[in-house]
Amino acid sequence: MNSTTRIALVVTIGFALITEIGCATPKVWISSPQIQTVGNPYYEAKLEPVSSGRGFFVSFRLVITNQTDKNLEIDWNKTRYTYNGRSRGVFVFKGIMPEDIRASTVPPDIVLSGQTFLRVISPFELLARAPLRERDTSEPVISPGIIPTGRNGILLVVRQNGKEIVGEMSVDIEEKEVQ
Protein backbone atom coordinates (compact mmCIF):
# COMPACT_ATOMS: atom_id res chain seq x y z
CA MET A 1 0.00 0.00 0.00
CA ASN A 2 1.57 3.31 -1.02
CA SER A 3 1.64 6.38 1.19
CA THR A 4 -1.12 8.22 -0.71
CA THR A 5 -3.50 5.28 -0.33
CA ARG A 6 -2.54 4.92 3.33
CA ILE A 7 -3.21 8.64 4.00
CA ALA A 8 -6.55 8.46 2.18
CA LEU A 9 -7.54 5.40 4.21
CA VAL A 10 -6.59 7.06 7.53
CA VAL A 11 -8.50 10.24 6.60
CA THR A 12 -11.57 8.23 5.54
CA ILE A 13 -11.56 6.19 8.76
CA GLY A 14 -10.99 9.32 10.85
CA PHE A 15 -13.86 11.11 9.11
CA ALA A 16 -16.15 8.11 9.64
CA LEU A 17 -15.28 8.00 13.35
CA ILE A 18 -15.83 11.73 13.81
CA THR A 19 -19.15 11.53 11.97
CA GLU A 20 -20.26 8.57 14.11
CA ILE A 21 -19.28 10.34 17.33
CA GLY A 22 -20.99 13.52 16.17
CA CYS A 23 -24.18 11.61 15.41
CA ALA A 24 -24.25 9.86 18.79
CA THR A 25 -27.42 10.90 20.55
CA PRO A 26 -26.67 12.48 23.93
CA LYS A 27 -28.53 10.98 26.86
CA VAL A 28 -29.91 12.51 30.00
CA TRP A 29 -31.04 10.92 33.26
CA ILE A 30 -34.45 11.95 34.56
CA SER A 31 -35.99 11.42 37.99
CA SER A 32 -39.71 11.07 38.51
CA PRO A 33 -40.62 12.71 40.76
CA GLN A 34 -37.68 15.09 40.75
CA ILE A 35 -37.89 15.27 44.55
CA GLN A 36 -39.79 12.69 46.63
CA THR A 37 -41.31 14.03 49.84
CA VAL A 38 -42.83 12.05 52.70
CA GLY A 39 -44.09 13.16 56.05
CA ASN A 40 -45.33 11.84 59.35
CA PRO A 41 -45.91 13.38 62.80
CA TYR A 42 -42.15 13.16 63.50
CA TYR A 43 -40.51 14.57 60.39
CA GLU A 44 -40.80 15.65 56.78
CA ALA A 45 -38.16 14.09 54.54
CA LYS A 46 -37.12 14.85 50.97
CA LEU A 47 -35.02 12.70 48.65
CA GLU A 48 -33.53 14.16 45.47
CA PRO A 49 -31.10 12.50 43.04
CA VAL A 50 -27.93 14.56 42.51
CA SER A 51 -25.78 14.53 39.38
CA SER A 52 -22.81 16.57 40.65
CA GLY A 53 -22.46 18.20 37.22
CA ARG A 54 -22.52 14.93 35.31
CA GLY A 55 -25.23 13.74 32.94
CA PHE A 56 -26.15 10.87 35.26
CA PHE A 57 -27.11 10.63 38.93
CA VAL A 58 -24.46 9.62 41.48
CA SER A 59 -25.91 10.57 44.89
CA PHE A 60 -29.02 11.65 46.74
CA ARG A 61 -29.68 14.81 48.70
CA LEU A 62 -31.56 13.86 51.88
CA VAL A 63 -33.29 16.66 53.79
CA ILE A 64 -35.07 15.94 57.08
CA THR A 65 -37.05 18.51 59.07
CA ASN A 66 -37.77 17.54 62.67
CA GLN A 67 -41.42 18.41 63.41
CA THR A 68 -41.32 17.52 67.11
CA ASP A 69 -40.12 19.14 70.32
CA LYS A 70 -37.50 16.39 70.85
CA ASN A 71 -34.35 15.45 68.93
CA LEU A 72 -34.34 12.72 66.28
CA GLU A 73 -31.48 10.32 65.48
CA ILE A 74 -30.82 8.99 61.98
CA ASP A 75 -29.65 5.37 62.30
CA TRP A 76 -27.21 4.98 59.39
CA ASN A 77 -26.51 1.35 60.31
CA LYS A 78 -30.15 0.37 59.67
CA THR A 79 -31.00 2.88 56.92
CA ARG A 80 -30.79 1.15 53.54
CA TYR A 81 -30.47 1.95 49.85
CA THR A 82 -33.28 0.28 47.93
CA TYR A 83 -33.29 -0.64 44.26
CA ASN A 84 -36.45 -1.92 42.57
CA GLY A 85 -37.99 -2.66 45.97
CA ARG A 86 -35.04 -4.63 47.39
CA SER A 87 -32.55 -3.63 50.06
CA ARG A 88 -29.07 -3.17 48.55
CA GLY A 89 -26.94 -2.08 51.51
CA VAL A 90 -26.00 1.05 53.40
CA PHE A 91 -25.35 4.61 52.37
CA VAL A 92 -22.02 6.40 52.70
CA PHE A 93 -21.19 10.09 52.88
CA LYS A 94 -18.30 12.48 53.35
CA GLY A 95 -16.58 11.98 56.69
CA ILE A 96 -17.72 8.39 57.27
CA MET A 97 -14.98 5.99 58.37
CA PRO A 98 -14.53 2.71 56.43
CA GLU A 99 -14.07 0.74 59.65
CA ASP A 100 -17.43 2.05 60.92
CA ILE A 101 -19.11 0.80 57.74
CA ARG A 102 -17.57 -2.67 58.12
CA ALA A 103 -18.41 -2.91 61.83
CA SER A 104 -21.88 -1.29 61.51
CA THR A 105 -20.87 1.35 64.04
CA VAL A 106 -21.60 4.49 62.02
CA PRO A 107 -22.60 7.13 64.57
CA PRO A 108 -26.12 8.53 64.19
CA ASP A 109 -26.78 12.05 62.99
CA ILE A 110 -28.92 14.15 65.30
CA VAL A 111 -31.71 16.33 63.93
CA LEU A 112 -32.47 18.92 66.59
CA SER A 113 -36.04 19.78 67.53
CA GLY A 114 -37.60 22.03 64.89
CA GLN A 115 -34.42 22.02 62.80
CA THR A 116 -33.60 20.86 59.26
CA PHE A 117 -30.78 18.42 58.46
CA LEU A 118 -29.19 17.97 55.02
CA ARG A 119 -26.73 15.33 53.85
CA VAL A 120 -25.60 14.11 50.41
CA ILE A 121 -25.49 10.30 50.51
CA SER A 122 -24.40 7.61 48.07
CA PRO A 123 -25.14 3.87 47.96
CA PHE A 124 -22.09 1.96 49.25
CA GLU A 125 -22.56 -0.84 46.70
CA LEU A 126 -22.27 1.64 43.82
CA LEU A 127 -19.00 3.31 44.85
CA ALA A 128 -16.54 3.74 41.99
CA ARG A 129 -12.87 3.10 42.58
CA ALA A 130 -10.24 4.81 40.41
CA PRO A 131 -8.04 2.39 38.42
CA LEU A 132 -4.54 1.99 39.89
CA ARG A 133 -2.86 3.57 36.89
CA GLU A 134 -5.04 6.70 37.15
CA ARG A 135 -4.73 7.30 40.88
CA ASP A 136 -3.43 10.69 41.83
CA THR A 137 -2.71 11.30 45.50
CA SER A 138 -4.51 14.67 45.37
CA GLU A 139 -7.78 13.11 44.10
CA PRO A 140 -10.08 10.76 46.04
CA VAL A 141 -9.60 7.08 45.23
CA ILE A 142 -13.30 6.36 45.78
CA SER A 143 -16.17 8.38 44.37
CA PRO A 144 -19.93 7.93 43.98
CA GLY A 145 -20.85 5.58 41.14
CA ILE A 146 -23.69 5.82 38.65
CA ILE A 147 -27.15 5.23 40.11
CA PRO A 148 -28.86 2.78 37.75
CA THR A 149 -32.13 3.29 35.94
CA GLY A 150 -35.12 1.88 37.78
CA ARG A 151 -36.73 2.52 41.16
CA ASN A 152 -34.09 3.87 43.57
CA GLY A 153 -34.73 4.95 47.12
CA ILE A 154 -34.13 4.85 50.82
CA LEU A 155 -35.53 2.92 53.75
CA LEU A 156 -34.94 5.59 56.39
CA VAL A 157 -34.66 4.56 60.04
CA VAL A 158 -35.01 7.37 62.57
CA ARG A 159 -35.27 7.11 66.37
CA GLN A 160 -36.80 9.27 69.03
CA ASN A 161 -36.48 8.23 72.67
CA GLY A 162 -35.68 4.65 71.58
CA LYS A 163 -38.71 4.36 69.27
CA GLU A 164 -37.90 3.49 65.64
CA ILE A 165 -39.73 5.41 62.95
CA VAL A 166 -39.25 3.83 59.52
CA GLY A 167 -40.03 5.72 56.33
CA GLU A 168 -39.58 4.81 52.70
CA MET A 169 -39.03 7.07 49.70
CA SER A 170 -38.11 6.31 46.12
CA VAL A 171 -37.83 7.87 42.69
CA ASP A 172 -37.92 6.33 39.23
CA ILE A 173 -34.76 7.06 37.26
CA GLU A 174 -34.75 6.66 33.51
CA GLU A 175 -32.31 7.39 30.74
CA LYS A 176 -33.63 9.32 27.75
CA GLU A 177 -32.10 10.46 24.50
CA VAL A 178 -31.95 14.23 24.12
CA GLN A 179 -34.01 15.30 21.10
pLDDT grade for 13, boundaries at 50, 70 and 90: low
Residues 61, 177 contacting (CB under 8 angstroms): no
Q: How far apart are CA 84 and CA 86, in angstroms?
A: 6
Instruction: Return the amino acid letter for 30.
Output: I
pLDDT tens track for 115-167 = 999 999 999 999 987 665 554 555 556 789 999 999 999 999 999 999 999 99
Q: Residue 8 to residues 14, 16, 103, 108, 177: CA-CA distances in angstroms?
A: 10, 12, 62, 65, 34
pLDDT grade for 10, boundaries at 50, 70 and 90: low
What pLDDT, on a 0 to 100 scale, did the predictor assign at position 2?
66
CATH number for the domain running over 26-177: 2.60.40
pLDDT grade for 4, boundaries at 50, 70 and 90: low
pLDDT tens track for 66-106 = 999 999 999 999 999 999 999 999 999 999 998 999 999 99
Phi, psi of 112 (to 5 degrees): -65, 155
Q: How far apart are CA 141 and CA 127, in angstroms?
A: 10
Neighbours of 121 (CB within 10 A): 22
DSSP state of 52: T
Domain parsing of the chain, residue ranges: 26-177
What pLDDT, on a 0 to 100 scale, did the predictor assign at position 129?
75
Phi, psi of 20 (to 5 degrees): -65, -45
Segment 107-116 mean pLDDT: 98
What pLDDT, on a 0 to 100 scale, did the predictor assign at position 173?
97
